[in-house]
Structure 1
Amino acid sequence: MKAIKNILVGFLVSFLGSIPLGYLNIIGFQIYSEFGIENLVQYLLGVVFVEAFVIYLTLIFANRLVRNIKLMRIIDIFGIFFLLFLAYSFYSYSNQTAASPNYLEKYMIYSPFLVGLLLSGINFMQVPFWTGWNLYLVNGNYIKTTNTLQFYYVGGTLTGTFAGMMGFVFFLHAIAQNGAHFSKYLFAIILPLFFIVLACLQGYKVFKKYIRKP
C-alpha cells in the first residue's frame, strides 16, 4: 500500500509539474511536429533519464541542498539569464523557420535521446523544484523513503513527467494544426514574451530572497 501511495503521489506531482509551458515541452513539440512520434518518445526518454538522477539525489540530499545558500543563489541567478536566453532563442528560431521549415534537422543528426539528455541536463531549474517538493512530501509524511520505497516514488515521478510532457505536446500540436494564428505567432511573439515574464518573476524572487532584507 505504501508503495502504491508513493507511485501515485510521485506521478501526480510530476505530471502537474511537467504541464506548464517550458522549453523542454516546446522542443518536444518541435520534434514531434517535424520528425514524428518515434523521435518524440526517444527525446522524452532522454529527458526522464536525467530527471531520474536529479529526483533521487535531491530526495537523498534535500536538507543539505536547502542549507547550501551559496549553491541555491547561483542556481536562482542562473535561472534569470537562462530564461532570457530561451526568449531570444525562440525569437531567432521563428525567423529561421520562415526561411527554412526544417531548421531542426541540423540538431537531429544526433539521436533524439541524446538531445533529451543534453537539454534536461542543463535544466538546473529542476534542482530547486524537486528539492522543495521532496522536502515537503517527506516532512508532510506523504511519501515513505525507507528501504526500496523511494524507488517506487522515483518511478512514479518519471512516469508522470513522461505522460505530462507527451500529453502537452499533443495538445500544442492540435492547437497549432487548427489555429493558423497560433502557429504563426507562437515562436515569434508568445513564447519569447512568456519566458521574459518568467525571467522577470525569477528576478523578483532573487531580489526578495537574497537582496531585500525582511
Structure 2
Amino acid sequence: MQNLKNIFVGFLVSFIGSIPLGYLNVVGFQVFQKSGLQPTIWYLLGVICIEFLVIFFTLIFAKKLAENKRLTKYIEGFSVVFMLVLASVFYFGANSKTDYSTSFDYSPFVLGIVLSCLNFIQIPFWTGWNLYLLNGKYIEVSKSRKYFYVFGTVAGTFSGMLALILSLHYFATNVDFLSKYLMQIIIPLLFLGLGIFQAIQFFRKYF
C-alpha cells in the first residue's frame, strides 16, 4: 500500500509540475509538429532519463542541498537569466522560422537528454518538494520504496508533458489565433513574464 501511495504522490506532483509551459514542452511540441508521435515519445524518454537521476539524488541529499544557500542562489539566478534568454531565442527564432527540434544534429532521445541537462531549475524544485513530502510524511523512502516514488514522478512528467504537447497541437491546429501567434508572441511573452516574475522573487529573497 505504501508503494502505491509513493507512486500516486510522485505522479501527482510531477504531472502538475510538468504542465506549465517550459522550453522542454515547447521543443517537444516542435518535435511532434515536425516528426509525429513516436519521435516525441523518444524525446520525452530522454527528458525523463535525466529527471530520474535528478529526483533520485535530490531525494537522497535533499536536506544537504536545502542547506547550501549559495548553490540555491546561483541556480535561481541562472534560471532568471535563462528565462529571459529563452524569451529572446523563441521570439527571434519564431520570426525567422527556426525549428529548434531540428537545430541539433541529435536523435530525439539524445535531444531530450541534452535539453533536460540544461534544466537546472529542476534541482531546487525537486529539493523543495522532496523535503516537503518527506517532512509531511506523504512518502516513505526506506529501502526500495524510494524507487516507487521516483518511478511515479517520471511517469507523471512523461504523462503531463505528452498531454500538454498534444493539447498545444490540437489548439494550434484548430484555433486560428493560436496557429498564428503561439510561437511568435504568446510563448516568448510567457517566458518573458516568468523571467520578470522570477527576477522579482530573486531580488526580494536575496537583496
> What is the TM-score normalised by the length of structure 1?
0.94
Distance 2:162 2:100 in 1: 22
State the match for 1:70 in structure 2.
Answer: 70
Q: Cα–Cα, structure 1 residues 4 and 103, in superposed 2: closer, same or farther, change >3 Å?
A: closer
Distance 1:95 1:104 in 2: 16
Matches within 5 A, 1:5-154: 5-97=5-97, 104-107=101-104, 109-154=105-150
Q: Mind listing any 5+ residue stretches in structure 2 that lack a counterpart?
A: none
Matches within 5 A, 1:148-167: 148-167=144-163
State the match for 1:207 in structure 2.
Answer: 203
C-alpha RMSD of the superposition: 1.2
Letter in 2 for 1:68: N
Letter in 1 for 2:102: E
The residue matched to 1:110 in structure 2 has which SS?
coil
> What is the TM-score normalised by the length of structure 2?
0.97
Structure 1 stretches of at least 4 aligned residues deviating more than 3 Å after TM superposition: 102-106
State the match for 2:193 in structure 1.
Answer: 197
- Answer whether contact 2:28 2:101 (CA < 8 A) is retained: no
Q: How far has the Cα of 1:103 moved from its partner? A: 6.9
Percent of residue pairs identical = 49
Letter in 1 for 2:70: K
Q: Mind listing any 5+ residue stretches in structure 1 that lack a counterpart?
A: none
* Paired residues, number: 207
Q: Cα–Cα, structure 1 residues 120 and 103, in superposed 2: closer, same or farther, change >3 Å?
A: closer
Q: Cα–Cα, structure 1 residues 105 and 206, in superposed 2: closer, same or farther, change >3 Å?
A: closer
Q: Cα–Cα, structure 1 residues 182 and 77, in superposed 2: closer, same or farther, change >3 Å?
A: same
